[in-house]
Chain A
Amino acid sequence: MKLLEHEAKDLFRAAGIKVPATGGVITDLKQLPAALRKAGKAPWVIKAQVLAGGRGKAGGIKLAKTPAEAKLHAKAILGMTMVTHQTHGEGLKVREVLIDAASKIEREIYFSVVLDRKTAGATIIASAQGGMEIETLAVEHPEAILRLPVDPVTGLPDYAARRLAFDLGLPPERLSEFVKMTKALVRVFLDRDCSLVEVNPLAVTPQGLMALDGKVVTDDNAAFRQPLWAAKTDHQASALEKEAKKHDISYIGLDGTIGCMVNGAGLAMATMDTISLAGGSPANFLDVGGAADEARVTRAFQIILKDKKVKAVLVNIFGGIVKCDMIAAGILGALKKVKLTVPLVVRLEGTNVEAGRALLSKSGVKLLQAKDLWEGAQKAVAAVSGRN
């Protein structure tokens, strides 16, 4: 799960990492004067709280020297729809704005701890050229990027943090502060089960080293031991996605018209791909899980059909331990509870498939059966374009 900047900074502050004085987050202009007071003397930075990089360029970060200026900026940013290079063409509505005290920046450093799948551990990525997006930096100045693997058991040793400081060209008087801060950031990564902790910029200011921004991605699998963020809402998930998750169904909404219900994540992706190969477009990713029983199938149908773009539904289930006749009965049971108004294509394969298919045929329920996924995808695509 991705945390918003202010949530990341709360995490940093609690770990003894210096962040700017803050007036907190506001959702309404009425809250602005109090936030400004709390943040201290002008100038202030007004920052849109959305999960996307490139906020500055998109007009989501503004400096204010007076309360009037702050009001102007906060008003413009609150409620704006932000499109950055990281939102993939979609607009993100700004619902929260962070009010921070502005800092005098002497130097900007890029610092992050990432999950490195290749080395199966954590890796620090740092650069003396902070402030830039790391993706841009990687393309334009790959030589300016430092990498340092971190042991997931012991964390960052002092000597390694010192070496990093020297490699970044920090003056000796900043050394102990840098060691303390980077060790703390690595501890946040390891102790809070993160897959990303990014500080960009990590700024050298007259008040010391400071995290002026924060990006944190947490590992959902560790929620059971991270009460601090287990209760937080997932800002990236849509209402439908959250509802699905509550019922243990893995669902991601997409732009297409063919709703999919599949058992298994890999097969669900492959089903989406096959629909696209057949000339259609998937409306969602949905993994109904191993035990595709009546209750879960019902729930999955309900979730898929809440998306009004859906013009046909393709069910693709490979029955293994759970047998196809059981699954067919589940589908028929679910159809009694859910009023299906769009064409339904069902492809069953696996254990007791003949019995399962017979059950569907004999039921008299209006649905199309397919012998394999390719046929299923083609039938669904044809159904959407009204050809059968």
Chain B
Amino acid sequence: MSILLNKDSKLIVQGFTGAAGSFHAAQCLAYGSPLVGGVTPGRGGTMHLGLPVFNTVTDAVRKTGADASLIFVPAPFAADAIFEAIDAGIRVIITITEGIPVLDMARVKRALEAANLRGNPVRMIGPNCPGVITPGQCKAGIMPGYIHKPGPIGIVSRSGTLTYEAVHQLTQNGLGQSTVVGIGGDPIAGSSHRDILELFESDPKTEAVVMIGEIGGSSEEEAARYFQEKMTKPVFGFIAGRTAPPGRTMGHAGAIVEGGAGTHASKVEALKKAGITLVDNLSEIGQVVARSRKAVAA
């Protein structure tokens, strides 16, 4: 088992024939991901990377039974691509695109909520994220596949390379991953840390979770509350941005301390209070998780 994606997923790529879409779709295929086709309006009926291209997501769903979509559509058109995926009944929407206007994401959130209320369950991951990978089964994103290996640790993170760093350390310490989820660095995201913790909690193959956060917003604090109230599996936390100055956006649009809220200190305190094992030194994430699991096993 895993969360969100597995070898039986049917994945399409929106923005399939564009530069980023083509490059990363080829990488996902090489990893062995169950990619069944892609969408580029106006290119329907042609083949790309040996797979069918469709004009619309609805067409792709009808012809291939696709249930997951990986979106590389440029920012000005990305919200529309997400609306299209929701409308076509896609269950898992993973948006890699960076730079989507935040109010577009506010509108996307309303559409996601409305679809779920209609009994049309849909989950969105991203935007501005590396994607989702269930090692050995399905890579839907831009992460380097080979650093991952199948195993019992779930990872949820707002960052890209910071996540690769954590994955790499875990793999080096002999710990594989159930699923690795990048929820993205934007102020409004499709899924929060808490949403993903809930999924990991109910996944029988995930035994522990590494949660990587950063300054800005309150996603980590909300996740800590959920952990304290409902979660039975151990969680290891790391928060980036201890030295970030307030009021400045640190690369990720969502990584900003505003009006004294979303500080590193408040997040660290919330995690610690909830009983999450906090890792201060990034270079020690792998060792800390490995040591703790050995202690439990002994």
Interface residues of A (CB under 8 A from B): 86, 88, 115, 117-118, 120-122, 134-135, 151-153, 190, 193, 195, 219-222, 224-225, 236, 250, 252, 254, 262-270, 272-277, 281-282, 285, 287, 290, 318-321, 349-351, 372-375
What separation, in Å, do the CA atoms of A270 and B143 have in the docked complex? 19
Residues from chain A with Cβ under 8 Å of B163 in the complex: 266
- Other-chain contact of A268, B99, B103, B251 (Cβ < 8 Å): B251
Whether the pair A372, B164 counts as a contact (CB closer than 8 A) is no
Whether the pair B240, A269 counts as a contact (CB closer than 8 A) is yes
Whether the pair A272, B244 counts as a contact (CB closer than 8 A) is yes
Whether the pair B105, A373 counts as a contact (CB closer than 8 A) is no
Residues from chain B with Cβ under 8 Å of A221 in the complex: 75, 99-102, 253
What separation, in Å, do the CA atoms of A158 and B159 have in the docked complex? 41
Whether the pair A225, B27 counts as a contact (CB closer than 8 A) is no
Whether the pair A225, B185 counts as a contact (CB closer than 8 A) is no
Name, among A275, A350, A351, the residue most crowded by chain B CB atoms within 10 Å (CB to CB).
Answer: A350
Whether the pair A225, B101 counts as a contact (CB closer than 8 A) is yes
Whether the pair B107, A153 counts as a contact (CB closer than 8 A) is yes
Whether the pair B259, A135 counts as a contact (CB closer than 8 A) is yes
Name, among A151, A275, A277, the residue most crowded by chain B CB atoms within 10 Å (CB to CB).
Answer: A277
Q: Cβ of B13 < 8 Å from any Cβ of A?
A: no
Residues from chain A with Cβ under 8 Å of B103 in the complex: 122, 152, 190, 193, 219, 222
Using CB atoms, name the residue of chain B closest to A266: B159
Of the 9-residue stretches B201-209, B213-221, B229-237, which lies at the interface with chain A? B213-221
Residues from chain B with Cβ under 8 Å of A135 in the complex: 259-260
Whether the pair A351, B283 counts as a contact (CB closer than 8 A) is no
Whether the pair A285, B159 counts as a contact (CB closer than 8 A) is no
A270-B240 contact in complex given A193-B103, A220-B253, C-beta closer than 8 Å: yes
Residues from chain A with Cβ under 8 Å of B260 in the complex: 135
A118-B218 contact in complex given A221-B102, A374-B281, C-beta closer than 8 Å: yes
Using CB atoms, name the residue of chain B closest to A353: B168
Whether the pair B110, A153 counts as a contact (CB closer than 8 A) is yes
A265-B159 contact in complex given A272-B244, A350-B164, C-beta closer than 8 Å: yes
How far, in Å, is B82 (CB) from chain A's closest CB? 14
Annotate B102-118 by CB proximity to A: 1 below 8 A, 0 otherwise: 11011101100000000
What separation, in Å, do the CA atoms of A267 and B143 have in the docked complex? 14
Q: Cβ of B248 < 8 Å from any Cβ of A?
A: yes
Residues from chain A with Cβ under 8 Å of B164 in the complex: 318, 320, 350
- Other-chain contact of B242, A134, A220, A273, A321 (Cβ < 8 Å): A273
Residues from chain A with Cβ under 8 Å of B49 in the complex: none
What separation, in Å, do the CA atoms of A221 and B187 have in the docked complex? 11
Using CB atoms, name the residue of chain B closest to A262: B161
Interface residues of B (CB under 8 A from A): 27, 75-76, 99-103, 105-107, 109-110, 142-144, 146-147, 157-165, 168, 185, 187-188, 212, 214-215, 217-218, 238, 240-255, 259-260, 280-284
How far, in Å, is B225 (CB) from chain A's closest CB? 12
Name, among B103, B252, B282, the residue most crowded by chain A CB atoms within 10 Å (CB to CB).
Answer: B103
Whether the pair B159, A267 counts as a contact (CB closer than 8 A) is yes
- Other-chain contact of A272, B101, B243, B249, B253 (Cβ < 8 Å): B243
Whether the pair A273, B241 counts as a contact (CB closer than 8 A) is yes
- Other-chain contact of A270, B144, B218, B282 (Cβ < 8 Å): B282
Residues from chain A with Cβ under 8 Å of B75 in the complex: 221, 224
What separation, in Å, do the CA atoms of A274 and B285 have in the docked complex? 13
- Other-chain contact of A121, B106, B158, B160 (Cβ < 8 Å): B106
- Other-chain contact of A374, B241, B248, B283 (Cβ < 8 Å): B283
What separation, in Å, do the CA atoms of A128 and B37 have in the docked complex? 57
Whether the pair A373, B161 counts as a contact (CB closer than 8 A) is no
What separation, in Å, do the CA atoms of A269 and B215 have in the docked complex? 9
Residues from chain B with Cβ under 8 Å of A270 in the complex: 162, 165, 238, 240, 282
Name, among B215, B243, B259, B280, the residue most crowded by chain A CB atoms within 10 Å (CB to CB).
Answer: B243
A115-B187 contact in complex given A152-B107, A321-B142, A374-B283, C-beta closer than 8 Å: yes
A-B contact pairs, 19 of them (CB 8 A): A115-B187, A151-B110, A152-B107, A153-B110, A193-B102, A193-B103, A225-B76, A254-B243, A266-B157, A266-B160, A266-B251, A267-B165, A269-B162, A270-B282, A273-B242, A318-B164, A320-B142, A351-B146, A373-B283
Whether the pair B244, A320 counts as a contact (CB closer than 8 A) is no
What separation, in Å, do the CA atoms of A264 and B182 have in the docked complex? 13
Name, among A266, A285, A350, the residue most crowded by chain B CB atoms within 10 Å (CB to CB).
Answer: A266
Using CB atoms, name the residue of chain A closest to B113: A120
Residues from chain B with Cβ under 8 Å of A195 in the complex: 102, 187
Residues from chain B with Cβ under 8 Å of A252 in the complex: 245, 248, 250
A318-B161 contact in complex given A135-B259, A349-B168, C-beta closer than 8 Å: yes
Residues from chain B with Cβ under 8 Å of A153 in the complex: 107, 110
Residues from chain A with Cβ under 8 Å of B168 in the complex: 318, 349-350
Residues from chain A with Cβ under 8 Å of B142 in the complex: 290, 320-321
- Other-chain contact of B214, A266, A277, A319, A351 (Cβ < 8 Å): A266
How far, in Å, is A163 (CB) from chain B's closest CB? 22
Whether the pair A266, B252 counts as a contact (CB closer than 8 A) is yes
What separation, in Å, do the CA atoms of A278 and B223 have in the docked complex? 29
- Other-chain contact of B160, A117, A254, A264 (Cβ < 8 Å): A264
How far, in Å, is A250 (CB) from chain B's closest CB? 4
What separation, in Å, do the CA atoms of A120 and B114 have in the docked complex? 14
Residues from chain A with Cβ under 8 Å of B281 in the complex: 274, 277, 374
Whether the pair A122, B27 counts as a contact (CB closer than 8 A) is no
How far, in Å, is B240 (CB) from chain A's closest CB? 4
Whether the pair A264, B101 counts as a contact (CB closer than 8 A) is no
Residues from chain A with Cβ under 8 Å of B244 in the complex: 269, 272, 285
Using CB atoms, name the residue of chain B closest to A317: B161
Residues from chain B with Cβ under 8 Å of A375 in the complex: 283
Residues from chain A with Cβ under 8 Å of B282 in the complex: 270, 273-274, 373-374
Whether the pair A264, B162 counts as a contact (CB closer than 8 A) is yes
- Other-chain contact of A269, B76, B160, B250, B259 (Cβ < 8 Å): B250
Name, among A88, A195, A221, A287, the residue most crowded by chain B CB atoms within 10 Å (CB to CB).
Answer: A221
